């Protein structure tokens, strides 16, 4: 498939992945000069009318979905029996990969991701389209932190005949109970699946697992999930309540719409009270065996039984909980005072600002702009947050740690570090001082930048700290196998025995070089620029003669498909066009003079210069092949040559004149004076006529005619 071009437009460059009925490839759109993803139906299904109908329906349904959080569908078609769909190429990683690599995703980040997925589902559900396959593998997290929901491969419009089949589709770990039973699905099914995704993100575990899909599906129908907080005690009770509501067995007990779920998530992120619909209490009573709801006169609350809905009296990280009042009557979390309260408020506002920044497009696209992280060390937290957001960054986690040198409430360090280049929209984590903790001795974290792994471990152990090696990452500034960054950063004060994580460099991020052969210089340069590369010899390209049109790219170095670091250079060879016909320049000069030309041959349409120089005493009497020649010669240009050039020039000698010796001053009187032939003759200053001169010369005497 690699190298194949569909309908003379989409050239396949590499395979991205494979699903149940299709493969996905990266491809180059030769018409618009952009990278796209092409989903190609597997050959074994291409001859099945039911599958081809389903494939077409996917394209038609998804093409109508317009949202910044949904992968765009550009085109679809058939080429030599192969069905394909062309869609937006999304850079980034799917959420499942992130969960597998990290175990647990920061709960605020998880809530942000789920909120954006809700936004995408609201668009789909508004068109009566149920996704049916919401799972972390279908949620792409882009470099700017925004998500794209993809693969409406089993999406169905609610009024579709195909949606009435009893086939159970989707992945067993994420399907709703009604989907596991083959019932008709509504938008509530997608909400349940999103609840499972959110559950897995904050706990690192699936709510239900088993040896096979059937056993997992049965658990979806019959078993109750452990509350997320029983697995991860740091899960905020408000977020836990949102997850458990989304995962109710009864579709009517879940959020009524994806919009309702998004509003609850946004309330949690903003630190506002999470007011869940009253039906939640009834559903929790049934789900957890709680006592009936008690009317407090304000909101409906439930007293959970022992071992029921999880309550977490501890703070969820440095920010505590959501900052709001849960609709569940749970034990109150210990309140934070002083700087902790300020941090929570600032953090909540920062999250709101980050969401707004993403919604207005500040996060950029797949190829994000690289900007420098400002140095906000020793600045008050509110100033640091404002500075980072003004520069184009989002705010990640805010951790309060003891520090005896940085004033309480001021920023100690950032991750990524100050003065490093990062993609616009990157989330910056902050460590904030809570002042000196007299109960423990604080030590300085050594700077590990550019150290090898063994050097980093030794430096940390010598300082009384525990080394931990994180997942290696790409770095534009640090060579491979040396420390690119660390957390906490060098110079930060921490308690003795604290863990410091260091991240080794993989070197510059390697990308596949796209194919630009056949493109013009400018269109090829745009393709390379969009992929993160430069044309190394753009201002001075190599030209060779060929039968391709002028400025067509004939070759590239490195070749297409090669790995190359970001901003790497690709040199191109261009066509000068076919070699022009060459004509001869021929000269024939006779007489006294010379004729020279600038070349003995000239290309068709070119020009040649002719220089004609008569000898002394000669003039040009005739010339062919060049126009406007003066008798005394000169330099002439023959332009737009269309054939052999033949130049013929004839020179003629000029007859010299003899000076007159006649001194007659009055020829009209008949009397003249002649010179003695034996004496010198002085030239006559008069103007004798030529006949006289001739006669005098012929006679050989000095006798004047009278």
**Which residues are part of the catalytic machinery?**
133
Rounded to 5°, the CA angle 271-236-495 comes to 100
Q: Is the peptide bond before 434 cis (omega within 30 degrees of 0)?
A: no
Q: Which is nearest to 202 in space by CA: 180, 226, 221?
A: 226
**Contacts for 187 with CB less than 8 Å, ≥ 6 apart:** 121, 125, 130, 257, 258
Q: Contact, 612 vs 620, CB < 8 A?
A: yes
Q: Contact, 435 vs 407, CB < 8 A?
A: yes
Cα end-to-end distance, the chain, whole Å? 113
Please report which residue ranges of 271-409 form alpha helices under DSSP H.
Answer: 279-288, 339-359, 381-391
**Contacts for 298 with CB less than 8 Å, ≥ 6 apart:** none
Token pair, residue 327, equals 């609709």
Alpha-carbon distance of 13 to 2, in angstroms, equals 5
Token pair, residue 402, equals 């003891």
Beta strand pairing call for 394-401 and 427-433: parallel
Alpha-carbon distance of 593 to 590, in angstroms, equals 8
Beta strand pairing call for 129-130 and 421-423: unpaired
Q: Contact, 184 vs 93, CB < 8 A?
A: no
Alpha-carbon distance of 480 to 475, in angstroms, equals 8
Q: Which is nearest to 397 in space by CA: 373, 380, 408, 381?
A: 381
Q: Is the peptide bond before 435 cis (omega within 30 degrees of 0)?
A: no
Q: Contact, 11 vs 35, CB < 8 A?
A: no
Alpha-carbon distance of 93 to 140, in angstroms, equals 6
Alpha-carbon distance of 446 to 595, in angstroms, equals 84
Q: What sign has the CA pseudo-torsion 374, 377, 382, 383?
A: negative
Beta strand pairing call for 300-301 and 294-295: antiparallel
Strand blocks (E) in 155-277? 156-157
Question: Is 219 annotated for ligand binding?
Answer: no
Alpha-carbon distance of 496 to 506, in angstroms, equals 30
Distances (CA, A) of 704 to 402, 673, 677, 681, 697: 134, 8, 13, 14, 11
**DSSP readout, 458-514?**
HHHHHTT-EEEE---B--SSS-TTSEEEEESPTT-EEETT-EEEEEEB--SPEEEPP
Q: Which is nearest to 604 in space by CA: 572, 636, 582, 588?
A: 582
Q: Burial code of 496-510, b = ≥16 C-beta within 10 A, e = fewer?
A: eebebbbbbbbbbee
Token pair, residue 231, equals 């697995």
**Contacts for 587 with CB less than 8 Å, ≥ 6 apart:** 595, 596, 597, 610, 647, 649
Q: Burial code of 440-468, b = ≥16 C-beta within 10 A, e = fewer?
A: eebbebbebbebebeebbebbeebebebe
Alpha-carbon distance of 454 to 481, in angstroms, equals 11
Question: Which neighbouring-strand residues pair with 380?
Answer: 410
**Feature table: binding site for ATP:** 39
**Feature table: binding site:** 39
């Amino acid at each position: 498939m690699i190298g194949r071009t569909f309908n003379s437009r989409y050239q396949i460059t590499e395979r991205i992945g494979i699903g149940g009925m299709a493969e996905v490839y990266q491809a180059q759109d030769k018409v618009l000069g952009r990278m796209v993803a092409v989903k190609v139906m597997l050959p074994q299904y291409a001859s099945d009318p039911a599958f081809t109908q389903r494939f077409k329906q996917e394209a038609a349904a998804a093409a109508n979905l317009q949202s910044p959080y949904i992968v765009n569908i550009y085109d679809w078609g058939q080429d030599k029996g192969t069905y394909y769909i062309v869609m937006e190429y999304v850079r980034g990683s799917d959420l499942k990969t992130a969960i597998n690599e990290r175990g647990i995703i920061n709960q605020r980040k998880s809530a942000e991701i789920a909120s954006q997925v809700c936004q995408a589902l609201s668009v789909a559900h508004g068109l009566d389209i149920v996704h049916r396959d919401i799972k972390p593998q279908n949620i792409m997290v882009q470099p700017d932190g925004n998500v794209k929901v993809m693969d409406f491969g089993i999406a169905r419009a609610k009024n579709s005949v195909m949606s009435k089949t009893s086939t159970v589709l989707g992945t067993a770990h994420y399907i709703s109970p009604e989907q596991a039973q083959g019932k008709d699905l509504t938008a509530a099914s997608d909400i349940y699946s999103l609840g499972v995704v959110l559950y897995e993100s904050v706990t690192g575990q699936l709510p239900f697992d088993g040896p096979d899909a059937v056993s997992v599906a049965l658990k979806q129908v019959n078993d109750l999930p452990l509350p997320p907080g029983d697995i991860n005690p740091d899960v905020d009770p408000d977020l836990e309540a949102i997850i458990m509501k989304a995962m109710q067995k009864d579709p009517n007990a879940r959020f009524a719409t994806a919009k309702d779920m998004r509003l609850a998530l946004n309330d949690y992120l903003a630190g506002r009270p999470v007011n869940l619909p009253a039906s939640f209490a009834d559903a929790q009573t049934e789900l957890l065996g709680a006592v009936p709801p008690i009317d407090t006169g304000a909101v409906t609350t439930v007293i959970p039984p022992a071992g029921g809905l999880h309550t977490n009296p501890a703070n969820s990280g440095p920010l505590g909980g959501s900052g709001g009042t849960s609709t569940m009557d749970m034990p109150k979390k210990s309140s934070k005072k002083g700087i902790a309260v300020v941090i929570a408020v600032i953090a909540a506002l920062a999250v709101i600002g980050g969401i707004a920044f993403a919604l207005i497009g500040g996060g950029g696209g797949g190829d994000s702009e690289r900007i420098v992280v400002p140095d906000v060390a020793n600045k008050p937290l509110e100033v640091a947050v404002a500075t980072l957001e003004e520069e184009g960054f989002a705010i990640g986690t805010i951790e309060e740690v003891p520090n005896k040198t940085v004033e309480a409430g001021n920023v100690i360090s950032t991750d990524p570090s100050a003065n490093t280049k990062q993609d616009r929209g990157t989330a910056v984590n902050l460590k904030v001082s809570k002042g000196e903790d007299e109960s423990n001795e604080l030590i300085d974290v050594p700077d590990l930048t550019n150290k090898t792994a063994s050097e980093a471990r030794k430096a940390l152990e010598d300082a009384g700290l525990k080394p931990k090696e994180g997942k290696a990452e790409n770095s534009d500034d640090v060579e491979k196998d040396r420390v690119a960054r660390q957390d906490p950063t060098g110079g930060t004060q921490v308690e003795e025995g604290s863990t410091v994580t260091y991240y080794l460099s993989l070197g510059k991020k390697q990308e596949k070089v796209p194919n630009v052969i056949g493109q013009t210089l400018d269109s090829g340069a745009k393709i390379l620029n969009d992929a993160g590369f430069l044309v190394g010899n753009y201002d001075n390209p190599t030209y060779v003669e060929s039968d391709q049109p002028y400025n067509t790219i004939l070759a590239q170095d490195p070749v297409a498909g090669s790995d190359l670091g970001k901003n790497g250079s690709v040199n191109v060879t261009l066509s000068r066009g076919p070699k022009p016909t060459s004509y001869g320049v021929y000269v024939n000069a006779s007489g006294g003079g010379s004729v020279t030309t600038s070349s003995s041959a000239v290309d068709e349409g070119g020009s040649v210069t002719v220089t004609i120089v008569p000898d002394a005493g000669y003039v040009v009497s005739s010339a062919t092949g060049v126009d406007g020649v003066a008798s005394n010669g000169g330099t002439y240009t023959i332009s737009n040559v269309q054939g052999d050039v033949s130049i013929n020039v004839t020179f003629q000698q000029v007859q010299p004149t003899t000076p007159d010796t006649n001194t007659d001053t009055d020829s009209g009187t008949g009397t003249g004076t002649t010179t003695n032939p034996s004496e010198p003759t002085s030239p006559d200053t008069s103007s004798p006529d030529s006949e006289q001169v001739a006669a005098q010369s012929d006679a050989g005497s000095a006798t004047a005619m009278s």
